[in-house]
Amino acid sequence: MKRFDKRYIYASLLTDLFSSIAIPLIFFEELFVSEDSTSENIRFAIPLFIAVSAVFYLCFITYRILYYRTSGYQMTENEIVCKRGVFFKKRSMLEYKRVHAINKRQRLIHMIFGIAVLTVDSGSANTSHQAEITIVEREKTVDALIKELNSLKESGVKTGETDIENKEVLLSDKDSLYTFTSGKKMLYTLIHIISTAFFTAVFCILTVLVLSACKLLLQLDFLGTWGQYLLHAVQITVGATLLFSAFSFIGYLLHSFIGYYNFTITKQDDNIQISYGLLEKHTNTFSYDRIKAVKISQGIVQRMLGFATIKLEVIGYTVSNEENSQAIGVLVPFCKYEEISEILNRILPDFVPDDKQTKSVSYFPFISWFALILGTITGLVLLQTVVSLMIFKVSSAIILPVAIGIVGIGAFILALKALDSLLAYQNNGLTICDGKITAYYGGFTKNITVFRSNNLIAAENVTTPLRKKAGITSLVMHLKTNSTSNEIKVHIQEDRLTEEIEQMLRL
């Protein structure tokens, strides 16, 4: 069995050096930076701090060496075998024909030492939280392994030994099917800032109203010290929110230019490869037939400006384990809405969304239950507040503004929900055509999910006696994915659609 590359130890120990300093520093913080710390305490603490850090670092060194000696991989005739771990040893085997997704990741520290982390996943729902195979090797070796595994998962059998140690391989010799240009990145950043600014403005308006109420109560000396605490808490919250908004532009800019650096999509034979990242490089390779669904999302600002994001549902494409923690699922981070069909025709022609054939048949069910619950809660809060103020013999000059404020907040929330329900009423719909289902749903965020009927594993008909009498229902479809939620809900459709969905399950 071949061991992982030795440079894994050096890269890990460099990051462990920081941890071996940071962990003891937490315990010695009081001796170094507290107001009671003296020069004598510091002189006493420094040797002890160095000794503790050295012990921690020695433990890290021991662990890394043991991990290196007990970990490795082997490619047999029919499967790839990987073992790793020190205290809890794990041995994984994955047949070539069951390989679902192949992902390569390089952090900045990995780039310095010329290594990469390769994860190979079967797509099993039982192991969706982590990949079965994790290998740490030289970058060139990982690239060669990716090419060999892509070939072996088609044939399922390794016919002969291949020298992959120093072979440099390009995964695709074709031009990128999509490139995330600098102009798109700037627009992507600005749209996120506009979205943040919108919600910040809403928050500030509500805050002004709360601050005004706090000041009024302080002037009337009703809340006393508690009123001052409340006022200060609201002011701190406002300041933190405004500070977050100020830095959000920088954060989104760095995310778009560094996180999505050199974002490209290439295709060779039946394999699709997505590459991106500057400080942490990702190369994700998977077969076309492994794709379960394509999801198109539009936030409210994106809808107003005509842009969208395209995401993928690929079992094994998103992996999370001790060696690799990420949330990957983006096919196209940012594009014009009218370009979606053109882009998908180049990359995934079987997942081009069809035009909506059905639509929601009633607006009232979208808001009825929410309005009933909100009205009940608002009424109870109003009654309890007014009664409490009357018991403490508070004047009507205070009771009336407080009551108006409670009703106003309830009305504001109801207005937002009414707008969201109106958008959902307009968005929700379904198209069933040639074994492909296109589901339209969502309110403020419009979603379109396209999937093949063979990936549909269950369907539910959610209704009430009144809706059943009117012949309408909500459809809940379950897909074959490893997501936390694999449900797609399309609300207030004609009940006859349930029969068509159920017929697909029987085929």
Mean of all residue pLDDT scores within the chain: 81
Quote the pLDDT of residue 217: 59
Could you read off the pLDDT of 234-265 as tens digits, one per residue? 667 666 666 776 677 677 778 788 888 888 88
Segment 316-337 mean pLDDT:
61
Per residue, the 3-state secondary structure of 178-234, as one string, reads EECCHHHHHHHHHHHHHHHHHHHHHHHHHHHHHHHHHHHHHHCCCCCHHHHHHHHHH
By the 10 Å C-beta count (0-12 exposed, 13-18 middle, 19+ buried), 306 is classed as exposed
Residue 283: C-alpha distances to residues 169, 273, 276 (Å): 13, 7, 7
DSSP assigned state of 339: G
Helix (H) or strand (E) holding 507: none
Could you read off the pLDDT of 74-106 as tens digits, one per residue? 999 899 999 988 888 888 899 998 888 888 999
Segment 101-124 mean pLDDT:
88
Could you read off the pLDDT of 256-302 as tens digits, one per residue? 888 888 888 888 777 888 888 888 888 888 888 888 899 999 988 88
Q: CB under 8 Å to 166, separation ≥6 — which residues?
A: 140, 141
By the 10 Å C-beta count (0-12 exposed, 13-18 middle, 19+ buried), 34 is classed as exposed
- Enumerate helices (H) and strands (E) in the chain, giving the number of each: 13, 20
Could you read off the pLDDT of 139-198 as tens digits, one per residue? 999 999 998 998 888 777 776 554 444 443 333 434 578 888 888 888 888 887 777 767
Distance in angstroms (rounded) separating the CA atoms of residues 170 and 147: 8
Say what percent of the chain tops pLDDT 90.
31
What is the reported pTM? 0.78
Which range is least confidently modeled, 193-197, 218-222, 448-452?
218-222
Q: CB under 8 Å to 205, separation ≥6 — which residues?
A: none
Calculate the CA dihedral of residues 298, 300, 303, 307 and round it to 10 degrees. Answer: -50
Quote the pLDDT of residue 233: 66
Entry field: residues in the chain: 507
In 3D, which of 288, 289, 316, 291 has the Cα closest to residue 124? 316
Quote the pLDDT of residue 237: 67
In 3D, which of 431, 428, 410, 430 has the Cα closest to residue 420? 428
Quote the pLDDT of residue 400: 85
Per residue, the 3-state secondary structure of 408-451, as one string, reads HHHHHHHHHHHHHHHHHHHHCEEEEECCEEEEEECCCCEEEEEE
Per residue, the 3-state secondary structure of 90-122, as one string, reads EEEEEEHHHCCEEEEEECHHHHHHCEEEEEEEC
Distance in angstroms (rounded) separating the CA atoms of residues 459 and 307: 31
Distance in angstroms (rounded) separating the CA atoms of residues 382 and 372: 15
Name the band, by pLDDT with cuts 50, 70 and 90, for residue 210. Answer: low
Distance in angstroms (rounded) separating the CA atoms of residues 117 and 115: 7
